[in-house]
Each structure stands twice: as C-alpha cells, then as structure tokens.
Copies of this chain bind each other. A is one copy, B any other.
C-alpha cells in the first residue's frame, strides 16, 4: 500500500480520543510516519529517512556551517539580553528575576531565527517528511541555566496538541536546533525509539487553563509510569547529544523528556514545530477552549517558502 492510498483511507472525526473519563489506553498509530515515499531526490538519505520512520527521530550534526551556528548563538544571547523589549505574553522569565527562560513566537522576534525556520535545511526536510507544504505551529527559544535546570517529564507533544490545540492527525515534526553543546549530563533530550507508533490515550479531563501549569509541570496528558516503564523496557532509551548546531528532528508523537541539570553548563535551543498545511488546527479535541496563539498558531497560518543558501542576515 503506497502512501497516497494510506492517506485516502484516513477518516474524518477524532482519530485519537484522549483525556478519557476512564483508564488510560494505548492504541495503534493511525497515520503514516514518513508521509513521502523516498526517492533519490529527497533532501535526506534513504538511511536517514528509514531511521526517522522506525525510531521517530533523526539527529543531524552537519546541516549548518560554523559561522551560521555562531550567528545563531549570538542572536539567541541578544534576544535574552533584550527580554524587556519582547511583549509579555511571549516571554517566560525566571521567578523573581528578569532572566529570560523562553521566548515564544521566536520567528516574530528575530529576523535571523525567522530565516532559520524558513531554511530549506529545516523546512525542506519537514516538507519531505510530511509530504505537504508546512507552517509553524509553534516556535520558541529555550534557555535552561546550569546548576538549577529542571527536569521535563515524559510526554508526547501530539497528545497535547491534539487534545488542547485541535491538531487532527500525526502530521507534524519538531526541529530542535541546539545552541549549546549537549552531553548526557546537562539534561539532554531523551527519546524512546519507536514510541511514535503507539498513541497513549491519557486518563483525566483537561482542567481549564491547563497550559498555565502544564508548561512548568505536566500532570494531565502524560502516560502512567508503568506505561513508560513498559515502553522503555520494550523499546529502549536514546539520547540526542551533540555540539551546538546539531539538529534533532522528532516526530510529533515520539515520547520524550529531559532530566534536570546541576552541571555548570546551560542548555539552549531554538525549537520549531512544522505542521502540514493540510493538518491545520480545528477545535480542540479534549479541552473546552484552545490554548493561546503563542503556543498554537491557529489564525491563517502562512505556508513557508523554503529559502536556499547561507544564513547571513
């Protein structure tokens, strides 16, 4: 069965009911992972495409030049220094200080990061993986300081995006561009390879304004510990490490999380979520009201025209 036939079979309605009144359930993924058939014209190797399909993620270490990476690191630091100029809704600061932790709608606050999000090396790969034109569902700059970096518990992004944002299908991919070196010890992204092939429909109704607490500590919409333990036992545990400039593409339903970090080494990344234009948001599937626009772009999404060449702005 080729991809086109598969897509044609997809029904309308809620393919992934979640936030269930009863117990958690694990169901099979209803969507392709790799939406395109690979050809030699694809923007990544056949091996890389197969790895993404089988594991649910891909780590690319040489997409950008040293000088491009240097520019991005500097732009990230400048954005954090000038946090006061960014509208409050898009900014998360450290409690009790002005230290910038997150800048949402990153592509609107920095020409350089906007250029990065539109780069063919990211957006072109996303188009191939999703077999569609793409737009940014969410974009952010993350900065976790050394010494006090907090953990981020296991979750599938898609579960939240489906339940609270109304993303219909698993046809989105995140790209995390590391702006610091990441070792096993400074709270890197951990992933469960193959976890994207199952959907864990979580138990418990979504509270109102859930995102206000879930961005700090997610309680609703995460699998039970026994479920995570079983998945890790069956599938293993992997970690995305690499020098600054490394890009991690991960499928929207891949189970991931990160440990806290007491090392002196901070962790920063630019994070772009590419969604297929045909997979635009509808009403939330399991929440009374959609999350705000800085978390989920639902107004007239602009399809990206991938841009070629060195990022020089």
Contact = CB atoms under 8 A, between A and B. Distances in A.
B263 A260 contact: no
A58 interface: no
B263 A261 contact: no
A190 B151 CA distance: 17
Contacts of A237: 185, 263
Is the interface on chain A under 10, 10 to 19, 20 to 34, or 35 or more residues?
20 to 34
A187 B258 CA distance: 12
A17 interface: no
Contact of A151 (B153, B257, B262): B262
A51 to B, nearest CB: 20
Nearest to A186: B259
Q: Which of A152, A229, A232, A262 counts the most B-chain CB atoms under 10 A from its CB?
A: A262
A47 interface: no
This chain's copy number in the assembly: 2
A153 to B, nearest CB: 6
Interface string A221-241: 000010011001100010100
From A183, A187, A264, name the one whose CB has the most chain B CB atoms within 10 angstroms. A264
Given A147-B225, A225-B147, A259-B259, A264 B187 contact: no
Which of A229, A258, A260 has the most chain B CB atoms closer than 10 A to its own CB? A260
B147 A263 contact: no
A184 interface: yes
Contact of A263 (B183, B185, B187, B232): B232
Contacts of A257: 262
A154 interface: yes
Interface string A261-276: 1111000000000000
Contacts of A204: none
A146 interface: yes
A255 to B, nearest CB: 11
Given A225-B147, A259-B259, A264 B185 contact: no
A262 B154 contact: yes
Nearest to A258: B262
Given A146-B229, A147-B225, A225-B147, A185 B260 contact: no
Contacts of A187: 259
Interface in A172-225: 183-185, 187, 190, 225
In the A-B complex, the 10 residue pairs with the closest CB atoms: A184-B184, A229-B264, A260-B260, A232-B264, A147-B225, A151-B262, A259-B259, A151-B260, A257-B262, A259-B262
Given A185-B190, A237-B263, 7 more contacts: A147-B225, A151-B262, A152-B262, A154-B262, A228-B264, A259-B260, A259-B261
